[in-house]
Amino acid sequence: MAEKEIAALKSDFPDAFRCGRISSLSMYDGIYCPLCSEDAAKGALLIECPPYVGKNCNGDYYCRHIYTTEICAFFYWNADGSTYLARPDGSGYYTRPDGEVYTYGPDSDVVKEPRLPWWVLAMDMSTMGHFEMRLRQIFQICNEQSP
């Protein structure tokens, strides 16, 4: 799935070797990132692979999945024991510490802009535009929730 497109991307962009598919799932406090599971099953290509796992100023850990220069998804392991997932189409869920789950449907206002790695930000605008076009093509092949 999308092998030809991925090979062409890596041929055209020397730094694209940093792109990849998930081979292991991110985990924090005994809970696996569901986005990692979903993306591994789909064979999704990420700009940053393995996905970046970091900690925000509130003490919450998160797993960041960047698919293109404009499309991303997040999973949060919150310090209070809750979790939060936001998919590229804005759908997702919030799980309270007591286990109650709130789900929500697609909403383009919810999706956040990705924080791009340095090697993407270093591209000139023309190169980044071409890179984005190739990434979107791969994203649409690999993901059923293409915007």
147 within some domain? no
pLDDT higher than threshold 80 for residue 75: yes
Number of domains forming the structure of the chain: 1
pLDDT higher than threshold 60 for residue 146: no
Whole-structure pTM value: 0.79
Once rounded to an integer, what is the mean pLDDT over residues 51-68?
Answer: 91
28 within some domain? yes
Contacts of 93 (CB under 8 A, 6+ apart): 84, 85, 101, 102, 103, 104
The confidence score (pLDDT) of residue 10 equals 76
Domain interval for residue 82:
3-142
